[in-house]
């Protein structure tokens, strides 16, 4: 008995052997497979049995020349269909067949056909599907030809957009299928190839999530308060672009400018509604998920006129307040009753007061108020009103807060022991929850200013803390094992980064001490420019900064003071970023040093004498 051999056998000499017990597949499936073979060739040999008994109905004299196919019946049928469709002589078409004369071997081949079939490598699948697609085959046809799902085909076809270098890396098992999928989020081939080089040359593993974060546009997540309130359909109907990742089911809104425009327009509609109800003013606060204290600190809240609810409603309100498990309908009813019980204001009060309108972090519309402006105090003609000159916009104040937060968090990245000290304080110090130095809720405050020009955010801070949003998974033992497997040094670095990102206090003695101990340097991560700072200041503040940094006001002197605000902001921008401009103003090196160290009053740390030492703080 000879060992199995592979031979080229004329198609006319092949038949489906009785040992091949699989039922005949549908004609459409055979036609699709024939199309696949026509494009890609026969990717797997047939397995045949040279049966000495012969096949029922076959001339015994022809036994020696006919081969019974025991594994590969679908392929044989497709080859026969293809030959007939192309008008080719079956005697002239040869097919590679693995042959045996041993019946036991033939039976083994027949029974093990499905289990023994080796799947194509993903990279080979990608190229095979792509070649078939170029002939006009749709995903459904390709799926039938390869006995896979349409979603599987679509995922592989997404990878077909990868350049040859990436597919070669996948074929050589240098990158995983997940990593290859993540590479498709690149916005250009140049960016993709650069990321591929980073993956191939990095000694530690880079996850698919890391690749996506590095390549894909940030976008706006579905848990953003603006998306929650507006609804995804509103954004889509306005033509907003989205990124939907087939590999991670991650969705992001790519046109934040459009989203913000729709968000503000909707808020303005609600403001107009409040005006129609008789309020003197209704102001939109779109920047934050809460209303900052300084917005209302100079206002008086208008008292409501109490309203006594009917007895039945009062009893219902009491019952709902005492219940700890309310349905959505009951919560809505509770809100309605509470609003009614708070009362209303008189028409006279409404005509002299107003409300602020904003959306909180849960995507809920909030009306704050009603508020009334305090009566202005009389002032003499000799005293100038400087409050309007010095008052900064809410958005600029918030940006300055973020910059200060960013500076300390950046410094803490290099201070692991101090970060652990802060964690200990946060967990053990007898202070109010809102005074803790770390936001243990794992919802870190924003550090990227709204106007982010000339602002540098350390990459480590960008995704230092998992907020449990889109893309998160259920907790599993693998999460702990991954941390334990990375080594103490890497784990400590990861922990330090996360703790730094959670640091919160920005003012007071505690913040001054942390700034001193960490060596926080605001100018290392932020430079004032026309866009992020100067154009947002009152003119009087611009004049004061120029006078402080340019001795004598420069060659033009009083002429500079008469310039328009936009030109002043541009000149101050050049003062901070253009050495040639400084030279034209005849500034000295000492002047330059003062400019390089300059900070707005709102960002300056307390002096070393004011900031307590570590010993004093401990005492």
Domain segments of the chain as ranges: 5-116, 220-260, 261-373, 394-510, 534-603
For residue 318, what pLDDT is reported?
Answer: 76
Report the SS3 class of residue 99: strand
SS (H, E, C) 257-315: HHHHHHHHHHHHHHHHHHHHCCCCEEEECCCCCCCCHHHHCCEEECCCECCCCCHHHHH
For residue 62, what pLDDT is reported?
Answer: 46
The single residue listed with the structure tokens 């095979």 is: 128
For residue 545, what pLDDT is reported?
Answer: 92
For residue 338, what pLDDT is reported?
Answer: 72
Which DSSP helix (H) or strand (E) runs through 190?
Answer: helix 189-201
Which residues make Cβ contacts (< 8 Å) with residue 357, sequence separation at least 6? 267, 270, 271, 274, 282, 283, 284, 285, 365, 366, 367, 368
Per-residue CA distances from 162 to 27, 156, 180, 200 (Å): 34, 10, 8, 16
For residue 434, what pLDDT is reported?
Answer: 65
For residue 212, what pLDDT is reported?
Answer: 82
For residue 417, what pLDDT is reported?
Answer: 85
Half-sphere exposure at residue 39, Cβ-oriented, CA atoms within 13 angstroms: 20
Per-residue CA distances from 484 to 205, 488, 489, 490, 527 (Å): 15, 8, 11, 10, 40
**DSSP per residue over 396-464, as a string?**
HHHHHHHHHHHHHHHHHTT-HHHHHHHHHHHHHS---GGG-SB-TTS-PPP-S-SS-TTB---HHHHTS
List, for residues 360-390, the tens digit of each pLDDT value.
Answer: 888 888 888 788 876 633 334 443 343 344 4
Q: Which of 390, 414, 404, 447 is nearest to 518 (CA)?
A: 414
Q: Report whether 457 contacts 524 (CB < 8 A).
A: no
For residue 149, what pLDDT is reported?
Answer: 84
Q: What is the distance between the alpha carbons of residues 305 and 226, in angstroms, rounded to a whole number?
A: 33
For residue 377, what pLDDT is reported?
Answer: 38
Q: What is the distance between the alpha carbons of residues 19 and 423, in angstroms, rounded to a whole number?
A: 71
Q: What is the distance between the alpha carbons of residues 548 and 538, in angstroms, rounded to a whole number?
A: 16
Q: Report whether 455 contacts 449 (CB < 8 A).
A: yes
Residues (pLDDT < 50) of the chain are 1, 55-63, 114-116, 376-390, 470, 608-619
Number of H helices, E strands in the chain: 32, 12
Q: What is the distance between the alpha carbons of residues 314 and 318, in angstroms, rounded to a whole number?
A: 6
Q: Report whether 451 contacts 399 (CB < 8 A).
A: yes
Q: Which CATH class, in words, describes the domain spanning 5-116?
A: alpha beta
Which DSSP helix (H) or strand (E) runs through 252?
Answer: strand 251-253
Q: Strands 14-16 and 67-71, how do they pair?
A: parallel
Q: Report whether 309 contacts 333 (CB < 8 A).
A: no
């Amino acid at each position: 008995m000879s060992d199995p051999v592979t031979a080229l056998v004329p198609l006319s000499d092949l038949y489906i052997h009785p040992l091949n017990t699989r039922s005949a597949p549908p004609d459409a499936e055979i036609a699709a497979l024939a199309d696949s073979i026509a494009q890609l060739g026969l990717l797997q040999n047939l397995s045949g049995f040279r049966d000495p008994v012969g096949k029922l109905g076959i001339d015994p004299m022809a036994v020696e020349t006919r081969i019974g196919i025991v594994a590969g019946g679908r392929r044989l049928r497709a080859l026969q269909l293809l030959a007939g469709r192309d008008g080719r002589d079956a005697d002239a078409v040869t097919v590679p067949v693995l042959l045996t004369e041993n019946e036991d071997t033939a039976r083994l081949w027949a029974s093990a056909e499905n289990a023994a079939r080796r799947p194509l490598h993903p990279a080979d699948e990608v190229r095979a599907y792509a070649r078939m697609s170029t002939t006009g085959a749709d995903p459904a046809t390709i799926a039938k030809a390869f006995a896979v799902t349409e979603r599987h085909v679509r995922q592989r076809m997404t990878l077909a957009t990868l350049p040859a270098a990436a597919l070669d890396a996948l074929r050589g098992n240098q990158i995983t299928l997940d990593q290859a999928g993540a590479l498709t989020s690149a916005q250009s081939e140049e960016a993709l190839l650069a990321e591929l080089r980073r993956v191939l040359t990095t000694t530690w593993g880079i996850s698919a999530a890391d690749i996506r974060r590095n390549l894909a546009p940030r976008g706006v997540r579905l848990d953003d308060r603006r998306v929650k309130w507006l609804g995804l359909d509103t954004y889509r109907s306005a033509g907003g672009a989205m990124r939907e990742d087939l590999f991670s089911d991650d969705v992001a809104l790519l046109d934040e400018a459009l989203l913000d425009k729709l968000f503000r327009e909707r808020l303005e509609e609600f403001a107009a509604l409040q005006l129609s109800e008789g309020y003197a003013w209704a102001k939109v606060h779109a920047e934050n998920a809460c209303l900052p204290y300084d917005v209302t600190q100079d206002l008086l809240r208008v008292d409501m006129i109490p309203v006594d609810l009917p007895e039945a409603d009062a009893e219902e309100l009491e019952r709902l307040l005492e219940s700890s498990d309310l349905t959505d309908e009951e919560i809505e009813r509770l809100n309605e009753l509470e609003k009614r019980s708070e009362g209303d204001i008189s028409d006279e009060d409404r005509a002299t007061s107003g409300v602020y309108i904003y959306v909180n972090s849960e995507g809920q519309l909030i009306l704050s108020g009603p508020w009334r402006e305090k009566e202005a105090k009389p002032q003499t003609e000799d005293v100038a009103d400087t409050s309007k000159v010095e008052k900064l916009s809410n958005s600029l104040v918030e940006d300055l807060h973020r910059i200060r937060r960013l500076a300390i968090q950046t410094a803490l990245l290099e201070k692991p022991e101090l970060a652990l000290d802060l964690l200990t304080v946060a967990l053990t110090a007898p202070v109010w929850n809102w005074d803790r130095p770390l936001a243990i809720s794992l919802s870190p405050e924003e550090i990227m200013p709204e106007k982010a020009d000339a602002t540098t955010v350390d990459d480590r801070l960008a995704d230092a803390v998992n907020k449990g949003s889109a893309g998160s998974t259920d907790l599993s033992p693998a999460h702990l094992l991954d941390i334990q497997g990375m080594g103490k040094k890497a784990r400590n670095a990861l922990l330090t980064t996360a703790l730094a990102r959670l640091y919160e206090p920005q003012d007071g003695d505690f913040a001054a001490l942390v700034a001193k101990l960490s060596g926080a340097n605001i100018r290392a991560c932020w430079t004032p420019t026309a866009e992020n700072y100067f154009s947002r200041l009152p003119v009087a503040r611009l004049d004061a900064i120029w006078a402080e940094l340019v001795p004598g006001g420069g060659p033009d002197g009083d002429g500079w003071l008469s310039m328009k605000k936009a030109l002043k902001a541009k000149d101050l921008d050049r003062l901070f970023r253009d050495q040639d401009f400084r030279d034209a103003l005849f500034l000295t090196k000492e002047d330059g040093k003062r400019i390089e160290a300059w900070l707005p009053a709102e960002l300056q740390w307390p002096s070393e004498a004011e900031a307590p030492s570590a010993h004093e703080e401990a005492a």
